[in-house]
Amino acid sequence: MSKIRSARVIVTCPGRNFVTLKIETEDGVTGLGDATLNGRELAVASYLTDHVIPCLIGRDAHRIEDIWQYLYRGAYWRRGPVTMSAIAAVDMALWDIKGKVAGLPLYQLLGGASRDAVMVYGHANGESIDDTIAAALEYKQQGYKAIRLQSGVPGLSSTYGVSKDKLFYEPADSDLPTENLWSTERYMRVVPDLFAAAREALGPDVHLLHDVHHRLTPIEAGRLGKDLEPYRPFWMEDAVVADNQDSFRLIRQHTTTRLAVGEIFNSVWDAKQLIQEQLIDYIRATVVHAGGITHLRRIASFADMYNVRTGCHGATDLSPVTMAAALHFDLSVPNFGIQEYMRHTDETDAVFPHAYSFKDGSLHPGEAPGLGVDIDEERAARHPYSRAYLPVNRLEDGSMFNW
């Protein structure tokens, strides 16, 4: 028994906003959890401070499953990104504490390492195909075995995934949403050319990935998947919005390109049909937005029964606390596929010193007890919250579309 003495939320903006939960036991052991929900950060901060923390004080920090059930079932209102990110933060912090008390890195508590390290993919992007290929060659040079390719689309002033700073892409770029423009026709012409050029330049061995970012209809996705087949992509991500899980059947009927989806999923219920009917190959749900390590393990076990592998979301809006938690999970889970890795800026890494490290295209969570991440609260306090939104997207005729 180790009672929770206190818990508090730390909001900081070292280049971008992060919401972190810090739990302390009466023995003085602390644990960290990430609760960052891009563009809606303060909603989760309030959910934790005003509604969750009062219920945590005095509970046994070691009863992780019971506390998860208490917060999930006990709230009556289930699921949703705000609730599930808040539960995730508590869950991560409690696993961190358990690891520290045991004196073991978290992956050891999850069954130990199933592999030597975790293959990650980096983001190559550019205004033109040539720029993107040049960026991809740099990643290859740095040892990456898997690279995501996103390129600007001629005629569109901005494109998802393409930023000015090639190493640190940050889509939440304004204190009110910026407006982007979208054309499916223009986009569908560029991507196969990009992949043809990339295979030519990078050779057959590098894994190539692409994120459609929910912008096609199922039949369009079927066509793009088919067009990409000759270049053997690792996956096509978020080809369509997954609100209607049936949509993926139509894509499957038209292409053998592997499909990944789920970075915005919050629970196993968002993916039940997709997994059970084997409509996807990779599930992108991640620790912070899908109820923590406790729930993500459940999703992965279910997925394993249907040959679906994991491919956790790892964009910069997921803090180093989530990255660490994801790496412990990835190292241990039998049906691991790949881990996204968008590097955080030095400013962010200074606020969140961490034990994980990159080598030969892979990350390893390190051997520090628990998650192996800390928060430098003095530094964090120097970077106050600054409102920032993701862009919105419109079609050329002005209609609202998916970003």
Binding positions for Mg ion, rule: CB under 5 A? 211, 263
| Binding site partner of 34, from ligand GCO, Mg ion, none, Cβ cut-off 5-8 A by kind | none
| Binding site partner of 270, from ligand GCO, Mg ion, none, Cβ cut-off 5-8 A by kind | none
Q: What share of the chain is helix, strand, coil (3-state, %, to 5)?
A: 35, 20, 40
For the CB of residue 237, give the shortest distance to Mg ion in the complex, in Å. 5
Task: Calculate the CA dihedral of residues 155, 342, 113, 105 and round it to 10 degrees.
Answer: -160
- Hey, which residues are catalytic here? 160, 213
- Which residue type sits at 144? Y
Give Cβ neighbours of residue 289 (< 8 Å, ≥ 6 apart).
Answer: 37, 81, 84, 85, 88, 263, 264, 265, 266, 313
Cβ proximity to ligand GCO, 315 vs 350, nearer residue:
315
* Cα separation, 254 vs 279, whole angstroms: 12
For the CB of residue 263, give the shortest distance to Mg ion in the complex, in Å. 5
* Cα separation, 88 vs 371, whole angstroms: 14
* Cα separation, 221 vs 242, whole angstroms: 12
| Binding site partner of 101, from ligand GCO, Mg ion, none, Cβ cut-off 5-8 A by kind | none
For the CB of residue 322, give the shortest distance to ligand GCO in the complex, in Å. 11
Phi first, then psi: what are they for 256, rounded to 5°? -100, 5
| Residue number of the CB atom closest to Mg ion | 211
| Binding site partner of 171, from Mg ion, ligand GCO, none, Cβ cut-off 5-8 A by kind | ligand GCO
| Binding site partner of 361, from Mg ion, ligand GCO, none, Cβ cut-off 5-8 A by kind | none
For the CB of residue 363, give the shortest distance to ligand GCO in the complex, in Å. 16
Interacting residues toward ligand GCO by CB under 6 A: 38, 171, 211, 213, 263, 313, 315, 317, 340, 390
For the CB of residue 329, give the shortest distance to ligand GCO in the complex, in Å. 17
* Cα separation, 74 vs 82, whole angstroms: 15
Cβ distance 257 to 226 under 8 Å? yes
Cβ proximity to Mg ion, 211 vs 227, nearer residue:
211
Strand, helix or coil for residue 402:
coil
* Cα separation, 214 vs 95, whole angstroms: 33
